[in-house]
Amino acid sequence: MAYALQQLINGVTLGMIYGLIAVGYTMVYGIIGMINFAHGDVFMIGAFVSLVSLLGLAALGVSAVPLALGLTLLGAVAISALYGWAIERLAYRPLRGSFRLAPLISAIGMSIALENYVQVVQGARVKPLAPVVPGGLTLMTEGSFAVQLGWMQVVIVVVTLAVLALFTWLVTKTPLGRAMRACEQDLKMAALLGIDTDRTISLTFVIGAALAAVAGLLFLLYYGSIDFFVGFIAGVKAFTAAVLGGVGSLPGAVLGGLLIGLIETIWSAYFSVQYKDVAAFSILAVALIFMPTGLLGRADVEKV
């Protein structure tokens, strides 16, 4: 019982990170109907910017952890948002009227370019980080096994829920959110009604990149190490979460992230850890057989 509870806590923590990344995938798909395969690498860049920022602030003598994390978060969000804007301008906007495969190929090329760029700049070695938010609570003890709830896990859950609540308010209550929803329903009609669709799409990429930066910082603080390839792995998992939850559904992206996180941790605990990815993708395949649009996705209605 105690071991299962520990894996549940670990799974929810990992799932929250996947959910944050998956929201970026589902936002872009909801508006322009295409998957931004460079999104995982924006997450990776956010993690590296966070690492450089934390080490730089420590070298400058900034010892207050909340101040250091706040400054790091602002810097990571700003720089990652700039990358998201650049990806939209370079890889998507010039090809928006082309055949649907062209932006996909362009996004994959952008992903490879970002991975190699970071590898050249930062090197291929794993970059470690000492624990920034150590400690935690012991929830229960069963024999010699103690169920731990780390403060970093609490921070991840609280920050993720706060960011998602803020984003939900932005989408549902603000003019930008109404413009995003209008573009999602009908891009051409939204443009005819006076909505600046180019600006709305660019801001969607920027917001998605900002969410990926938050996830990158949380991932770095939780695991304490990153490398240039971490964006591909996390990106594939988050994309899987978005598909499982229903691409285009924001609640579905979060639900899918939680499920993927739980599947990974529970499988790793009771079965061979080498096959945890196989388990996640197999469950995705089985789920899509019975629910092709995902758990919370909507069937596309073709306009004629």
Q: Tens digit of pLDDT for each residue in 18-75?
A: 999 998 888 888 777 777 888 999 999 999 999 999 999 999 988 888 899 999 999 9
Instruction: Evaluate whether residue 295 is within a structural domain.
Output: no
In-domain check, residue 299:
no
Give the per-residue pLDDT at 106: 87
How does residue 298 score in pLDDT terms, banded at 50, 70 and 90? Answer: low
User: 138 near 147, Cβ under 8 Å?
Assistant: yes
The answer to whether position 301 is within a domain reads: no
Please calculate the CA angle 162-231-300 and round it to the nearest 5 degrees.
70
Residues 6+ apart with CB under 8 A from 288: 243, 244, 294
pLDDT at 113: 92
In a domain, 300, yes or no: no
Contact in structure between 18 and 260 (CB atoms under 8 Å): yes
Q: For residues 206 and 91, what is the distance between their CA atoms, to the nearest angstrom?
A: 14
Condensed to tens digits (0 to 9), the pLDDT of residues 203-258 reads: 999 999 999 999 999 999 999 999 998 998 888 888 888 888 887 778 888 888 99
Q: Mean of the pLDDT values across residues 77-99?
A: 88
129's tokens: 């980080």
Residue 102: closest CA among 93, 112, 114: 93
pLDDT beyond 90 at 81: yes
| Structural domain harbouring 105 | 2-290
Residue 159 has pLDDT above 60, yes or no: yes
- With respect to residue 141, please indicate whether it lies within any of the assigned structural domains: yes
- Out of 2-11, 49-58, 101-110, 170-179, the most confident range is 49-58
Residue scoring higher pLDDT (250 or 302): 250
CB 84 within 8 A of CB 153: no
Neighbours of 56 (CB within 10 A): 14
- Whether 22 is in a domain gets the answer yes
Could you tell me if 190 and 183 are in contact, meaning their C-beta atoms sit under 8 angstroms apart?
yes
Query: Helix or strand or coil: residue 128?
Result: strand
Residue 298 lies in a domain: no
Q: Flag whether 220 is in a domain.
A: yes
Q: Please determine, for residue 303, whether its predicted confidence score (pLDDT) is greater than 70.
A: no
Identify residue 15 by its one-letter amino acid code. Answer: G
Beta strands in 127-241 (DSSP E): 127-128, 136-142, 145-150, 225-226
Section 285-298 average pLDDT: 79
The answer on pLDDT for 114 being more than 70 is: yes
Q: What's the rounded Cα separation, in Å, for the pair 64 and 58?
A: 9
The CA-to-CA distance between both ends of the chain, in Å, stands at 55
- CATH number for the domain including 105? 1.10.3470
Residue with tokens 């019975």: 290
| 22 touches 238 (CB < 8 A) | yes
Is 294 exposed, middle or buried, given 0-12, 13-18 or 19+ CB atoms closer than 10 A? buried
Could you give the number of structural domains in the chain? 1
DSSP 63: -
Mean pLDDT for the chain? 87
